A and B are shown apart, each in its own frame.
Chain A
Amino acid sequence: MNLSRFYAPLLAVGVVAIFAAVPVQSAGAQTTLNASGATFPAPLYNRWFVEYNKLHPDIQVNYQGVGSGQGIKDFTAGLTDFGASDAAMNDKELAAVTNGGVVLLPMTAGSIVISYNLPGVTAPIQLPREVYPAIFEGIITKWSDPKIAAANPGVAIPDLPITVASRADGSGTTFNFSSHLAAISPDFATKLGKPGKQVSFPGVAGKGNAGVAALIKLTPGTIGYVEYGYAKSNGLPMATLQNKAGKFVAPTPDSGAAALASVELPANLRVFITDPAGDGSYPIVTYTWWLVHAKYDKDGEAATIKALATWCLTDGQKLSDSLGYLPLPPAVVTKVQAAAATIQ
């Protein structure tokens, strides 16, 4: 009793000191931007925002990788200062944003790769244009299929049933992957319906890139689609795919950049590259967008976001490659910067 009476004032002083100390640390003129959206570019965005904070300690960006759909919802509801989405926003979603319209800014791009688990196969397998859609549509169900063997002479592909692994959650990656398959395969509509964020592929499904990658590693004979950056950092095998020009192209930063360069950005900066032309183009690439208000009410917020976007489009692009994303071609950067400059 006596002891506690003795210590109580000390304790009180301590508590007061702690609370007093906290505001001192955050007393500077801090600007915090909140953003949420796509998980696909989240590692790059978070890196950008950390680096930007080092250069501008007064600006802090909190980005939550909650998925493109949720990112659009949060942005539309005004919960975030800007959003991010792998599928941009469709016309209906754009119409739902009330105050002053939306500017879509492509900030980075990435490839989607087909990964697989084939014990004993070390070199990347080659998948022709008519074969990989048929696998994901459930038409080709065995690795011993003669069409696969014909494309991979001299490779001893084990005789396993094919298990397709896809995304269980709605995903921009699924949207872009299925859009590509639908563009090159006439069977897609009859087998799987419309391409979109959730497609009922045959086989099993897991949550996120990590879930799909885990499914691929788990069972021999499994094939699935994941982002290039994720596959690269986890050492997953990546198939070489046949592009529109008929060439087999491995997913690399160069082949991805070639695909980006093959498509002209329209005025609203929303374009889906479903089947890029050119000999060196990797066939499945996608931009990913920031969703930014055309007008900001708060003083200085527009300027802050403009400066942030400009840095990400210039110095930020140098970080893309090391994290497995595609640096935007210079022509694209110029266009996006012009669009960012219109924010008020």
Chain B
Amino acid sequence: MEPTAEIIPDQPRKIPLPVLGAQARAARRFDLFFTKATLLAGWGTVALLAWIALQIGYQAWPAFVQYHFGFLFSQTWDTENDVYGALPFIYGTLVSSALALLIATPLGVAIAIFLTEDYLPSSVQDFFKFTVELLAAIPSVIYGLWGWAVIIPITNILGNWLNAHFGWCPLFSTPASGPCFLPASFVLAIMVLPTIAALARTALKATPVATKEGALALGATRWEVIRQISLPMASTGIAGAVVLALGRAMGETMALAMLIGNKNQISASLFAPANTIASLLANSFGEATGPQVAALMYLSFILMFLTLAINAAAEWVLDYTGASKRHV
């Protein structure tokens, strides 16, 4: 390292400069321009985010003044009398996303383990990795159609059976209404699966081979290595993956608008229709006027705040794992 640093100091480079004259100056001007342009683009992104937040905040202001934080806890959504409350939508958004993570997390981590332990030759691993990542490339509306045509008929049968036999349980207290929580969350789970699988795989890949080999040499089984070494060491990375997936799930619109039933209510049943913030916005914005627009903007602001906070948290957790990785 050190000798090279001495051989090529800054001085020798400066010598040809007078020779190339105009060309070099042009190149340097271009460099300067390029630096400024990238700086502008960088700050432009920050400014854009701030502008969007300000614009939504500005339009939401009338609703905020009228309802304050009571908006978050009120259940009424009455467009005729212009009385608005956000609780059913916040509830629907959080519950559908949480259910989706409940399904997607074990699956995603299992996929990640399967693809990092050497169960398979690496070419086959690549094939599986590619396929899982392809799930992220399918448009939302296709997921919605698939959920509609394939999943809902299944959850209808399941829901009616569970309601008939276990109706005493609040989770199954209503017959299946077609579009409802369960199919929506199931499809949402598949949509966030690539996020969890890919990031968990990266985290598991980063666990040091030496530690694992050491444990194997001491007589640990492969299962013990996965459970006691790989998973604990990758846990922060996996947690980051889950939080990032939560952010994705909460903002998802099209598939949920098709699958959740768009009913403004709070019900514990998995087979009752509900509504999410994103889906409400997509459905009602076109016809909204006056105070309803302000209320919808207030909801947009809440959704944006929640997803930004969650994504920031995920970035922080993932950065933190990155840092801990370097220390090892």
Contacts and interface: CB of A to CB of B under 8 A. Distances in A.
Q: B-side binding surface: helix, strand, loop or mixed?
A: loop
A169 B287 contact: yes
Contact of B80 (A67, A72, A196): A196
A334 B152 CA distance: 51
B283 interface: yes
A73 B289 contact: yes
A206 B79 contact: no
A219 B177 contact: yes
Contact of A203 (B81, B148, B263, B286): B263
Interface residues of B, number: 29
Contacts of A72: 289
A69 B180 CA distance: 28
A202 B287 CA distance: 21
Contacts of A168: 257, 262, 283-284
Given A170-B79, A219-B177, A67 B262 contact: no
A218 B148 contact: yes
Contacts of A337: none
A200 B283 contact: no
Given A203-B273, A207-B283, A218 B178 contact: yes
Interface string A130-167: 00000000000000000000000000000001010000
A68 B289 CA distance: 11
B86 to A, nearest CB: 15
A150 B99 CA distance: 43
Contact of B177 (A70, A170, A196, A204): A204
Interface string B262-277: 1111000000010000
Q: A-side binding surface: helix, strand, loop or mixed?
A: loop
Contacts of B262: 168, 204-207
A171 B179 contact: no
Interface in A180-210: 193-200, 202-207
A168 B286 CA distance: 11
Interface string B197-239: 0000000000000000000000000000000000000000000
Interface in A214-269: 214-215, 218-219, 222
A310 B285 CA distance: 34
Given A215-B178, A215-B179, A219-B177, A197 B283 contact: no
Contacts of A194: 78, 80-81
A69 B289 contact: yes
A319 interface: no
Contacts, number: 88
A68 B287 contact: yes
B273 A169 contact: no
Contacts of B288: 69, 170
B85 interface: no
A338 B289 CA distance: 32
B112 to A, nearest CB: 35
Contact of B287 (A171, A193, A200, A206): A171
A174 B263 CA distance: 15
A163 B148 contact: no
Nearest to A219: B178
Given A204-B262, A205-B263, A218-B152, A197 B287 contact: yes
A236 B297 CA distance: 37
A250 to B, nearest CB: 27
B299 to A, nearest CB: 15
A67 to B, nearest CB: 5
A170 B261 contact: no
Contacts of A197: 79, 287
Contacts of B282: 207
A61 B152 CA distance: 42
B257 A207 contact: yes
Interface in A56-115: 66-70, 72-73
A163 B177 contact: yes
A98 B265 CA distance: 40
B178 A170 contact: no
A200 B257 CA distance: 16
A205 B265 CA distance: 12
Contacts of A163: 177-178
B128 interface: no
Given A72-B289, A168-B284, 16 more contacts: A67-B286, A68-B287, A169-B284, A170-B79, A194-B78, A196-B80, A203-B263, A204-B273, A205-B261, A205-B263, A207-B262, A215-B178, A215-B179, A218-B148, A219-B156, A219-B178
Interface of A: 66-70, 72-73, 161, 163, 168-171, 193-200, 202-207, 214-215, 218-219, 222
